[in-house]
Amino acid sequence: MYERGEGVPRDDGEAVRWYRQAAAQGYAPAQYNLGLMYERGEGGDYVEAYMWLSLAAAQGDANARKTLDLSEMLLTPEQRAEARKMAREWKPQSDFRPH
């Protein structure tokens, strides 16, 4: 909604906030969208983008799988290793509150 301005004014910061809340609870489409927004520089960085895209891809999100291959080119081997470690250690949070 906020990312596209559907029914509300377009607001990337608010879109990130809501995507982050849903992504933290394990919702793959939100993980994918959050990864894309971070990749574009909206509230995160390439390492975080890769982590969220990895999590979405691991749940079978086809778009995330495609994007992950392209995102890999933006990272150094060390950054990819860091993002993969973050993804391995990530746990869904049912009580997450956006900031």
Q: For the chain, what are the domain ranges? A: 12-89
pLDDT given for residue 1 in this prediction: 63
pLDDT given for residue 63 in this prediction: 94
Mean pLDDT for back-to-back runs of 10 residues, the chain (99 residues): 67 89 95 95 91 96 92 93 96 65
Whole-number Å distance between alpha carbons of 47 and 35: 9
pLDDT given for residue 12 in this prediction: 84
CATH of domain 12-89: 1.25.40
pLDDT given for residue 13 in this prediction: 87
